[in-house]
Amino acid sequence: MKNRPEIVIVGGGFGGISAAKALRKTNCNITLVDKRNHHLFQPLLYQVATAALSPGDIAVPIRAIFGDDKNVRTVLGEVVSIDKTNKRIHISDDSSIDFDYLILAPGAIYNYFGNERWKSHAPGLKTLKNALSVRERILISLEEADKLDDPQDRKKYLTYAVIGAGPTGVEMAGAIAEIAKRNMMRDFRNIEIEETEIFLIEAAENVLNGYPEDLSNKAKSDLEEMGVKVLLNNPVKSIREDGVELENSFIETPNIIWAAGVKASPLLGSLDCNLDKMGRAFVEEYLNIPDHDSIFVIGDAAHVKDEDGQPLPALAPVALQQGKYLAKLIKKRESGKKTSSFKYVDKGTMATIGRAKAVADIRGLKFSGFLAWMLWSVIHIFFLIGFRNRFRVFAEWMWHYLTFKRGVRLITNEPDGSQTDSDDS
């Protein structure tokens, strides 16, 4: 009789977590590997970046999710290569894990289009570290502005440049516009709210390029009504420490956020299979890579064609459905049952349409956009943690939503070159 099947899942995002959850009470051993110790609700990262939420509000330790599941093992580690022949993954600490089935859900990272040196000036918004870095810049800029009496000197500190007008960029620009309205701004005596200037910079010809045109147009006009200056057809020429260089102008600011393009995790490079121009792996009908029936790729790292031959979008519900599908597939395989191809069902959920909708309904209703996202994530984490904690998490989230806790406006890093108590790290 065969041993318990070993299923290795790489990535603790929506895809990896949903696959692991669906395999919880089965007769297999699951090892979930992630280079971070937490599952992150990425759609709300921009709220951490604008000091409206704490990291702890949008992240859950992966171990906590599977605390009660005896057949799920969590490993903190970075996968560096995949040995398809021997069915083994290698981790950066030189250990390796053998598998019967491998589910790769490593997600995506920001694409700087070859200009990696821009990264230090313009963080993306994919990780908690990103978000905290952006938060720090914003808070320090406000502090610097507050020290200066001449509005001309203050200008750059109160200028923000968000690069990329996809959903993330649009949300971030909107969230920054909202900072100006928060009580927090009253605490900065020298700053006039009207001095704030927010640029949303996009190389293509519209905001939310690729979405239905009426949605794109509405998002643009709503952002403009909030005071955001939307610059279209404006590819970035260069990003420097002191600002953003466009074709015909230079925006002086230390507050630059990159939301301009994603590419799939470079881990896929070790799979030796075809990748699309965003680095995503082309997968077959069972979400498996070609010529291998037990290695799968899902989520933002996978190029899965829908019925029209178009790749499925990089959205959470896609990854969630794929994770659940694979769990079913594996169960069927193990019990010799008939399997079927993956088929994405677009339920028109709040998350799929909701993000664009939330974005579109900005005027006076951004609030409900935020509410929609908060509910989405509350529900998501709610069902993630387990019954025992549900009440607590739910109440906590509702409380935070209602009270916009101020405690997160913290600059926790030490000032550079401080003469005292300068911690290394």
Q: E strand or H helix at 229, and its extent?
A: strand 228-231
Site string for a copy of itself, 184-203 (x = CB under 8 A): x-xxxx--------------
Considering only 6, 24, 37, 353, the residue that binds a copy of itself (CB under 8 A) is 37
DSSP label at 268?
G
Q: Is 158 left (phi over 0), alpha (psi -120 to 50) or beta?
A: alpha
Nearer CB in complex with a copy of itself: 146/178: 146
Under the binding rule (CB under 8 A), the answer on residue 386 touching a copy of itself is: no
Q: Which two tokens stand for residue 215?
A: 């949605």
Q: Cβ 318 to a copy of itself, closest distance in Å? A: 21
Environment class of 222 (CB within 10 Å of its CB; exposed 0-12, middle 13-18, buried 19+) = buried
**Contacts to a copy of itself from residues 239-298, by CB under 8 A:** 265-267
Q: Is 171 a catalytic residue?
A: yes
Give the 3-state secondary structure of residue 411: coil
Distance CA 114, CA 117 (A): 9
Beta bridge partners of 307: none
Q: Of 171, 202, 285, 307, which is the active-site residue?
A: 171
Considering only 109, 215, 273, 365, the residue that binds a copy of itself (CB under 8 A) is 109
Nearer CB in complex with a copy of itself: 223/239: 239
- Site for a copy of itself (CB under 8 A): how many residues? 79
Nearer CB in complex with a copy of itself: 241/247: 241
Nearer CB in complex with a copy of itself: 316/408: 408
DSSP 81-145: EEETTTTEEEETTS-EEE-SEEEE---EEE--TT-GGGTTTS--SSSHHHHHHHHHHHHHHHHHH
**Contacts to a copy of itself from residues 116-175, by CB under 8 A:** 119-120, 123-124, 126-130, 132-133, 139-140, 143-144, 146-147
Nearer CB in complex with a copy of itself: 156/220: 156
Beta bridge partners of 251: 244
Beta bridge partners of 261: none
Under the binding rule (CB under 8 A), the answer on residue 71 touching a copy of itself is: no
> What Rg value do the Cα atoms of the chain yield, rounded?
22
**Contacts to a copy of itself from residues 218-247, by CB under 8 A:** none
Under the binding rule (CB under 8 A), the answer on residue 405 touching a copy of itself is: yes
Q: Cβ 421 to a copy of itself, closest distance in Å? A: 4
Tell the residue number behind the tokens 């088929």, with chain if given: 343
Q: Tell me which residues are annotated as active site.
A: 171
